[in-house]
Every structure is written in structure tokens, then in C-alpha cells.
Amino acid sequence: MRLLFLDLETTGLDFEKDHITEIGYVIKDTAVEKPLLTVGEMLKVPCEVPQFITDLTGITKEMLDEFGNDPQHSLNYFLSVIDRYKADYIVAHNGNGFDRPMLEDHLKRFDLPIPEIGWLDTRVDIVYPEHYKARSLIYLCAEHGFLNPFPHAALFDAMATAKLFSNYNADDVVAYMKMPNIIVRAVVTYEEKDLAKAEGFGWQQAGDKTYSKWWVKMIKESELEALQSKCEFKVVVIG
């Protein structure tokens, strides 16, 4: 199976207003251990880079002005890579919640086609061992015995996602991905927030203002009954 592992860094979480500052992707075949292609590019943006983004990623406006490429050219090349190397799926960590909607909005901005390709999300489409509670990429890498030396650098995050994915059977991940996803809310008070946090609920669904003031998470529809039975608080479906 031929997979394209993708990560984006941006000026913020708003899909309609923010801009991609860095794109990194890796082409890897599940039958071959070595990555077949790696691409990492900074992109020019028409705005300042907020300080909190610089603190997180190390990217500044000055860096993008000097080293950034034209975003339309880079995105067009990205689309050509999907076709040229016949990728079966794009794989991203929290791709459902962030990378996919951010990428597709940018493609629309430049009147570029949305690729007709499936997506796998290593945050929700892999059945992790029960004792792996955290779902952030940096913690999952550590749980699987390796560290990403440059977190929040797009190419390195894409390579870390590929390394994480390699611990699991690709056909099993695809089969699990095809099960319906749902978004559930933990009905908890402020004092009970740690209970929700311990079960993997997050205070904000990245980039989606709809759930910004609830403890929510995405699960498979088939997991709902077991989660409701397990939790010490009420769990309701909201999307």
C-alpha cells in the first residue's frame, strides 16, 4: 500500500482565515521500510506570524520571507506527487480535525482541485493499547519507543507519523477507518474536568468553534456503548 504522510504548520487554527506556513510529507510503501520521497517546504504568507505560533514552531515571518515558496506552486506540486506516485491514502495525525480541512480550504483559495483520495487519521483510526491514554503525536511516539527530535516541524512530524503508523497493519487501519466516526461530549462540571481529561476528552476540537467550550472527542460509533458504561460521567453524542 502506498501512503502519503502529511503535516501542516499554520498561522492559526481558523481554516478560512489562517495560512499554511510549512508543509511536510513523506511517500512510503508499506512493503518497504525506507521512505521513498520526503518533501519539506516553508510557504510565504500575506500576514504576520503570531508570537504564540513562533513560540510553538520556531517559524517567523522573516524566515518565511527569505525561505518560503509560493503557496500555489507548492500545493500544485503536492497534488502532482499524489498522482505521480499513486498514493492510496493521505495519512495525518488529527487529519480529520485539522490538516484535511485546512488543506482543502487552501486548495479552494487557489482554485486547485481537491484530490479524490481517502484519508487515514492516526489519532482515531488506529486501535491503540488500552493503557495508551494520550493521543497527542509527541506522547504516542514516546509510548512506541522513539522521539521526534523536532516536534511542530512539518517534515519531522510527517516522518514521526509514518514511524508511528509502521507499528500497525495498514489493512486493519483502513478497515477501522471505514467505521463511522462520531463526536461525543463529556457532561462534567469544572471540578470533574480531570475525569474527562483522563478519558481522552479535549477542551477544544482544533479549528472547530462549534465545540470550543465543551469537553469532546471523536470515537467510532461502535465504541459508544462501552465508553458510556466505563465513564463516571454522562457521555452524549453531539455530532
| pLDDT attached to residue 210 | 55
Nearest-CA neighbor of 12 among 64, 47, 62? 47
Distance CA 226, CA 230 (A): 6
Q: Are 177 and 232 in contact (CB under 8 A)?
A: no
Mark the ranges of the chain whose per-residue pLDDT is less than 50: 205-207
pLDDT (tens digit per residue) in 182-217: 889 999 888 888 888 888 787 764 445 555 578 888
**2-177: CATH number:** 3.30.420.10
Put the strands of the sheet holding 118-121 in their side by side order. Answer: 37-42, 20-29, 2-10, 89-92, 118-121
Distance CA 94, CA 120 (A): 9
Nearest-CA neighbor of 165 among 83, 80, 90? 90
Q: Are 191 and 152 in contact (CB under 8 A)?
A: no
Q: Are 72 and 112 in contact (CB under 8 A)?
A: yes
pTM, full prediction: 0.85
| pLDDT attached to residue 207 | 46
The helix or strand, by DSSP H or E, that contains position 64, with its residue range, turns out to be helix 61-67
How many other CB atoms are there within 10 angstroms of residue 151's CB atom? Answer: 15
Give the residue extent of every domain in the chain.
2-177, 181-237
| pLDDT attached to residue 70 | 98
| pLDDT attached to residue 77 | 98
